[in-house]
Amino acid sequence: MGEIAEDMTDGTCCQLCGGYFMTEENQEKLGTEKESEATLFTHGYPVVCWDCYNDLTGIEKKQYRKAEVETL
């Protein structure tokens, strides 16, 4: 459980749903021979995914930061 908490605080996954982030370039590597080269995207600060952000109220949106990339 400690790894997920760390991933949420450094922005590797959504702090609300736990979905992981990956750039489009790396998403294309999934399911191919280069899948082992695919890496997760880290924002460097806590973020929420686009889906979770859209579900937030106006007041809640002031408390969270929207991710720069999509989830897997």
pLDDT tens track, the chain, 72 positions? 689 999 999 999 999 999 999 877 766 666 676 656 668 899 999 999 999 999 999 999 999 999 999 998
Q: Are 26 and 38 in contact (CB under 8 A)?
A: yes
- In this prediction, residue 42 carries a pLDDT of 93
**Residue 68 within any structural domain of the chain:** no
Number of domains in the chain: 1
**Residue 72 within any structural domain of the chain:** no
Residue-number span of the structural domain to which 48 is assigned: 2-61
- In this prediction, residue 48 carries a pLDDT of 98
Euclidean distance between CA atoms 51 and 25, whole angstroms: 20
**Residue 71 within any structural domain of the chain:** no
Entry pTM: 0.82
Which of 52, 72, 71 is closest to 63 using CA atoms? 52
